[in-house]
Structure 1
Amino acid sequence: MTTSDLDQTLHELAAFFAGRGVSAWLVGGAARDMARGVAPADIDLAVDGDGIGLSRDLAEHLGGTFVPLDGENSTGRVVLPARVSAPALVIDVARLRAPSIEGDLRLRDFTVNAIAIPLAEPWPDSRLLPPASWIDPTGGLADLRAGVLRAGGPASMADDPLRILRAARMGAALGLRATPELAGQIRAAAPGLARVSAERVRDELLKLLDCPSSAPWLRYLDACGALTTVLPELEPARDCAQPRVHFLPVLAHMLETVASLEWVLRGLGGVWAADERPEALPAAVRAHPGLPRGLPYAERYAALMGEARGGGRRRAALLKLATLIHDNAKPQTKQTHPDGKISFYNHQEIGSDVAAELCRRLRLSRRDASYVAMVVREHMRPGQLRAGEVITRRAVARLFRDLGDAGPDVLLHELADHMAVRGPQLRPDHWAEHLRWVGEMLDTCWGQPEERRAPLLRGTDLIDTLGLTPGPQVGAMLRAIAEAQAAGEIASRDEALALARGMLE
């Protein structure tokens, strides 16, 4: 939303509430964004009246849709469709939770969210708001200028333990640093996260993972005892030692892999760009500052990782979730052999089952849960393929056939995993070769023209031409044809039919 769009909307809102004799204030993220000089994407309002009734009337007045949010706290939502002069907009209207706006602000989660601007008529230019316009009882404006994240009060985390995850998300999204006392408040309130609904935990966790630099805050949550309260499946990995090729135990390695993945993604720029503070850099990059990170097919990767999923989150957030838990089954599969070698046989298969159950507990959609479980299950396949002496086109085709549209994602994970395994011992020449290898792999799917990737035959073609009946046999033929096509062994409908006939014989 541009500043002019914002001011026009606020002018309309101010006139609406003034006409009903209701005091209203711009609060929460909207006021915080304006204090940062950023036009907010959505608008949060506090009113000294019935939030449900007022939002219903406002929706009718503006031609939007009314959505009741919280009857107990009298909160309603107005969803405005995109217009010629303005984009789509969400306006939340909530009744004051205290007798005054100052009292309401003191009940909020963080000081940077506890600032307000009276919605006065006529509404001035947002860029010229005088300092006296701001209501700031907890010092949120000073904290925002200093880049500090401070709880709204000593009981803020205990009042709603979900605020623990929100603290990490806000810190990551706004580039804030936590005050020393916040860690103690989070540590004391962390056990309460186990009682928060799965849906609320899921949404905040994925919002955090959707940020360009979530890894430092994942580590912060772990240091405060909150990460494995939310994801208890990871606790056994904390002290699980690994072979000498790894420089970290399992849990720290998974966190390092997220940091490595984010570093690669930030190289794409755009929505992934972020201020790279030292704590956000993986150990390999700190040891070798000149490492290249130009991803092959960068534009395709940017579009893929930015793909919208449910809840407004991007595909990258789900890949990071899979990365965060990818080695979860190493502790239960660990074997130390007589010669001292350590193995984790079948940890990816068992870990995929654990990941699927974790996703069900967090109430992820079936589609998203299947994606996360697949990345965990297949995360070793590219590395195993790369370790082979000879890589055939058919083996590459089989890999992408089995992984479906998640093939490029698994390659990206394997790249980050490799960096996180080696850490400071990463050899820059090996890293550059790895990037080149990823490009060669992607050439087989993204580098082919559309006509080379379109199926040569469909199931109905086999049924009609060869007189087959629907069933597993048809599926097996289609997979074989697709594999041969991807390997460059066949290129026409007639050749595909010949292969199918050969399979029948």
Structure 2
Amino acid sequence: MPNGSSADSILTVSPEQLTDLLWRRLEPERWPLKPSQLPEGAVLVGGAVRDGLLNRLPPCPDLDLVVPGAVLGTVQRLAREHGGACVVLDEQRQMARLVLKGWTIDFARLEGEDLTEDLFRRDFRLNAIALSLSHPQQLIDPTGGLQDLQDGLICAIRESNLRDDPLRLLRALRLMAELEMRIDTDTLAMVKANGALLTRSAPERIQAELLRLVAAPAADAAITLLQSLDLLKPWSAPGWQHSHVNASQPLRAASSMTLEEQSLALPLARLTALLSDSGLRSLRFSRRQIQRCAKLRQWQERCAHGDSSSLDEMERLRLHQDLEADLPALVLCWPEQHRDRWMQQWRNPEDPLFHPRSPLDGDTLQSELSLNPGPILGALILHLTTARAYGRVSSREQALDEARRWLHRPPSTSELSRRCD
């Protein structure tokens, strides 16, 4: 059974009670469309059914519907009639999304001769449970997904289904991390045998799975398995096996952090250890995400095991400028004494070094000192930021005096050289 789930209290009841309890958990009266307004013969499948049975539904669960016949025209009509938006996901396979009142409802055309054949084409048995929407509701479970939920197992329906969509190989690990379940032995062998096929999947889809995996409650166990399978080898950070921050390393320090700090630190640290900078780019991560990982990697190497004693003033300031928001990810694996001291200072938003700011902004400096925008103004702001970070100025008057002193100092050799150029 998945940890922290109350699934045993629902999965062991009679089939009639099970369907009734699931229907109540799904709260169809809150859906943006009444079940009677949905296409005739529509059935609910996939994650919402699974998560309802496991009692882990979010406030607005994504609803996946299988519909007999054409889909696109139906979804476009529903969008017009109810003020929503229709997004075509796959025109050839008749898949479309209705976005309405903050909810997402995905519609897919029934594949095969009947619902049973459709369900047997899916990835894992626990995702192949369907719920009819017409009264009386009925659970349809031809592959044995309900038993897998009881046993806490992730079992592929068929190996060919994994090969048809290789992203499902990675999804097995993501489900393991999110649901805190085990992958059964046969399915694990299928993943290992077909791992090389993952490169055929769209980079954006791989990225989406990884972002969910690294933030999941059982991420460390899933990542240990993921790395042993070499599933991400084409995008892996070189030498992760010998890194002082291993993506699968149990990060005990997180227990001394708040939940908010953990949600900030753990996913970023795991992602940085899992993927190289080129791997992040290949998988189409955002520029911001790539920069965050690159800066974290740089300072992990520079301050391995918490040794920051070799940093001079400017390097230390640069560290806190680069990682002001992401410092918890840097100190996760540091010795306790260093880690706790840095975290205590980081938690204070007024700490001038851990949250470096110039005591005077650019507009004030231009107005008070008759400066123009340019390199000199930028250098002055950096100088004042450094002075404030190390306690050499604190008040506005002190900052203005220091700025005047800095502007009237003799130019340095490098400045003279630039002027000559």
Amino acid at match of 1:260: P
Equivalent residue for 1:98, pick from 104, 112, 119? 112
Shift of 1:223: 2.3
After TM superposition, give the deviation of residue 250 of structure 1 in Å. Answer: 1.0
| Alignment partner of 2:329 out of 405, 408, 412 | 412
Match of 2:267 in 1: 317
Distance in 1 between residues matched to 2:391 and 2:242, nearest whole Å: 40
Q: Quick one: distance in 2 between partners of 1:155 and 1:31?
A: 24
Q: Relative to structure 1, is the Cα distance of residues 233 and 258 closer, same or farther in structure 2, using a 3 angstrom cutoff? A: closer
Aligned partner of 1:6 among 27, 32, 40? 27
Q: Which amino acid aligns with 1:14?
A: P
Mapped contact 1:14–1:121 kept (Cα < 8 A):
no
Aligned counterparts of 1:223 and 1:381: Cα–Cα separation in 2: 28
Mapped to 2, the partners of 1:361 and 1:39 lie a distance apart of 33
Displacement of 1:169: 0.4
Identity within the alignment, %:
30
Counterpart mapping for 1:94-493 below 5 A: 94-121=108-135, 133-229=138-234, 231-234=235-238, 237=239, 249-250=241-242, 254-255=245-246, 257-261=247-251, 263-265=252-254, 267=255, 294-295=256-257, 298=258, 301=261, 305=263, 316-325=266-275, 355-383=276-304, 386=307, 388=309, 395=313, 399-404=316-321, 406-407=323-324, 409-416=326-333, 418=334, 431-442=335-346, 445-446=348-349, 448=351, 455-493=358-396
Q: Does residue 25 of structure 2 align to residue 35 of structure 1? A: no
Are the equivalent residues in 2 in contact too, given 1:64–1:80 (CA < 8 A)?
A: yes
Native 8 Å contact 1:30 1:43 kept in 2: yes
SS of the residue 2:88 aligns to: strand
1:9–1:410 CA distance, 2 compared to 1 (3 A): closer
Q: 2: distance between equivalents of 1:12 and 1:63?
A: 11
Q: 1:481 to 1:3 in 2, by over 3 A?
A: farther
What is the aligned length?
382
Shift in CA distance, 405/154, structure 1 to aligned 2, threshold 3 Å:
same
Aligned CA distance change for structure 1 residues 5 and 60 (closer, same or farther; 3 Å): farther
Q: 1:106 to 1:167 in 2, by over 3 A?
A: same
Q: Is the 8 A contact 1:481 1:500 kept in 2?
A: yes
What residue identity is the alignment partner of 2:270? K
Does the 8 Å contact 1:218/1:227 carry over to 2?
Answer: no
CA contact (8 A) 1:254 1:324 kept: no
Specify the code of the residue in structure 1 equivalent to 2:124: F
The corresponding residue for 2:93 is: 73
Q: How has the CA–CA distance of structure 1 residues 107 and 476 changed in structure 2, closer, same or farther, with 3 Å as cutoff?
A: same
Q: How big is each residue's C-alpha offset from its partner over 1:197-246, in whole Å with a ceiling of 9 and x where there is no partner?
A: 221211111221121221221221222231314x2443xx27xxxxxxxx
Q: Is the 8 A contact 1:115 1:140 kept in 2?
A: yes
**Matches of 1:384 and 1:463 in 2, distance apart?**
43
Q: Distance in 2 between matches of 1:119 and 1:161?
A: 31
Tell me the alpha carbon deviations over residues 433-452 of structure 1, each in whole angstroms, 9 at most, x when there is no partner: 23432234426x53549xx9
Alpha-carbon distance between aligned partners in 1 of 2:368 and 2:261, rounded to the nearest angstrom: 39
Are residues 78 and 379 of structure 1, via their aligned partners in 2, closer, same or farther at CA, if it must alter by over 3 Å? same
Classify the secondary structure of the residue corresponding to 1:379. helix
Partner of 1:26: 44
Contact between 1:106 and 1:138, CA under 8 Å: does it hold in 2?
yes
Whether contact under 8 Å (1:379, 1:410) holds in the other structure is no
Counterparts of 2:24 and 2:392, CA distance in 1: 58
Counterpart of 1:437, as a letter, is R
Letter in 2 for 1:250: H
Cα distance in 2 for partners of 1:108, 1:167 equals: 13
Q: Which amino acid aligns with 2:43?
A: W
Q: Unaligned 5+ residue runs, structure 2?
A: 1-22, 410-421
Matches within 5 A, 1:485-504: 485-504=388-407
- Given the alignment, which residue of 25, 49, 53 partners 2:73? 53
Cα distance in 2 for residues equivalent to 1:383 and 1:154: 43
Give the Cα–Cα distance (whole angstroms) in 2 for the partners of residues 453 and 225 of structure 1. Answer: 41
SS in 2 for 1:78: strand
RMSD of the TM alignment (CA)?
3.0
Question: Structure 1 residues 54-63 or 365-374, which shifts more?
Answer: 54-63
SS at match of 2:105: strand
Cα distance in 2 between the residues matched to 1:5 and 1:163? 26
> How far apart are the structure 2 equivalents of 1:250 and 1:384?
14
1:135 Cα offset (Å): 0.7
Matches of 1:15 and 1:71 in 2, distance apart? 25
- What CA distance in whole angstroms lies between the structure 2 residues aligned with 1:410 and 1:473? 30
Task: Tell whether the 8 Å contact from 2:50 to 2:126 is kept in structure 1 after alignment.
Answer: yes
In the alignment, the residues of structure 2 paired with residue 29 and residue 317 of structure 1 have an alpha-carbon distance, to the nearest angstrom, of 23
Q: Secondary structure at the match of 2:188?
A: helix
Letter in 1 for 2:371: L
* C-alpha separation in 2, matches of 1:300 and 1:26: 34
* Change in 2 beyond 3 A, CA 1:433/1:254: closer
| Contact 2:154/2:184, CA 8 A, preserved across alignment | yes
Q: CA deviation at 1:7?
A: 2.2
Query: Residue by residue, what CA displacement relative to the aligned partner does 1:105-156 show, whole Å, maximum 9, x if unpaired?
Result: 0000000000101111476xxxxxxxxx211111011001100000021212
Contact 1:15 1:121 in 2 (8 A): no
Q: Which letter maps to 2:81? A: H
**CA contact 1:54–1:93 (8 Å) conserved in 2:** no
For the Cα contact (< 8 Å) 1:55–1:93, is it kept in 2?
Answer: yes
Q: TM-score, normalised by structure 2?
A: 0.81
| Residues 65 and 483 of structure 1, relative CA distance in 2, 3 Å threshold | same
Q: CA deviation at 1:172?
A: 0.7
